[in-house]
Structure 1
């Protein structure tokens, strides 16, 4: 086991990775490091290759692999990536500055992945239009929209032989 994986054990001991027994945890780590064959990993954790294959197909083991990957990436790269993003806020390109600001806001939870300023404005317009329609329907039901004339919809798309 590498030194970095020992440090990870102290970070946050909740989730699928920490629910695995030591052998499965070691298998997750060795699979992540991608330096050994599956046969070598199985020997390293004192199990058969078929057992390792079964583990790799288990949903909890897969979730543990995902969690471990995120922990390693977060520990090793998150602060460096954030520092780089902060530096990009001063970029010459307005587009780079905008994308950087959006990325930082998404990371902070202040903006969702499917949210952009343009999309947010469109959502507001849609909500206002839906409110207008609801108000019109309510007025229609209470008789406030009644007028002396009425609109008749006509289907003027007839069969070709009618022409």
Structure 2
């Protein structure tokens, strides 16, 4: 049986996976993001994967701070996740992670994030650049929302409407 903590981790990972495809409904946004990543010397595929895991880590950190269960996660405002992406220290995002990851790619991406965090220097600077890109993506989704304070649940509904993998 999967623990609530593991389920919360899976919900957070799902948020990270659907974020960029939803933002990219306006194709020029993907092109702009790719230009930014290339200008920063970050491989596009690796950078996008890091943005996905960064979103999952930020969402997980604020969900833990608020003592949310997996069932309550959908009510988490996007604004709070965006604030955590740029407001929390990198190492704070690593606290309280699940013991296992449903997708090995998530575990690998977390290890890369962890390496960047502890290596510091240019790697820490890259995390800052990626956090800015993540905040921008979350802001775009929030601005598109018909509700005044969109939540993670709103993102999941839009992902389902766009036929993104669940």
Normalised by the length of structure 2, the TM-score is: 0.24
Pick the structure with greater CA Rg. 1
